[in-house]
Amino acid sequence: MAQRWTFTVQTPLGETHSTYTVTDDALHYESDDPFAGDGATVSWRTVQEGSTATMQGMGGRGGPDLPTWVPSQMEWLVLTRTDDVETSFMRRLPPPGADRNAIVTAVRDRLGTRWLGEGLPLKEAQLRMDTQSTEWSGLKIAGIVVAVLCMLVLAILLFALLLTPFVLVPAGLVGGGWLLRRGLRMLGDAKAAASMAAAKVGRARVGLVHLEAPAETATPTRAAVTGRACAWWDVAAWVWYESDGSDDSGGWRRVASRHGGSVESVDIADDTGSATVWLNGAELLLDLKSWESDKDVLPPRGMALLDALGFPWQGGQRLRVTEECVEVGATLYVIGTLDLRRNVPESMEPGLLERIVDALRTGAWRRKVVAAAPRPLRIVLAVFIGYVDMLVGLGSARMRPRSSRIAAPPALPPDTRVVWKGRGDRPFIVSDRPEQGALAALRKRAWVTCGIGVAILCFVLYELLS
pLDDT tens per residue across span 322-356: 999 999 999 999 999 999 999 998 876 666 666 77
Q: State the average pLDDT over residues 360-383.
A: 79
**Backbone phi, psi, residue 76, to 5°:** -125, 155
Compute the distance between CA of residue 185 and CA of residue 180 in angstroms, rounded to an integer: 9
> Could you tell me what percent of the chain has a pLDDT over 90?
48
Tell me the pLDDT tens digit for each residue of 79-93.
988 765 556 888 889
- Find the helix or strand (DSSP H, E) in which 147 lies: helix 138-162
Give the architecture (CATH level 2) of 3-135: Roll (2.30)
| Residue 451 reports pLDDT greater than 70 | yes
Q: What is the CA radius of gyration of the chain?
A: 27
Give the contacts of 114 (CB within 8 A, at least 6 positions apart): 47, 48, 49, 50
pTM for the whole structure: 0.76
Q: Report the 10 Å Cβ neighbour count for 28.
A: 16
Q: Report the 10 Å Cβ neighbour count for 51.
A: 25
Contact of 257 with 238, CB cutoff 8 Å: no
Identify which of 264, 259, 270 has the alpha carbon closest to the alpha carbon of residue 216.
Answer: 270
Q: Report the 10 Å Cβ neighbour count for 133.
A: 10
Compute the distance between CA of residue 230 and CA of residue 223 in angstroms, rounded to an integer: 6
Domain assignments of the chain as residue spans, ordered by start:
3-135
> Could you tell me what percent of the chain has a pLDDT over 70?
90
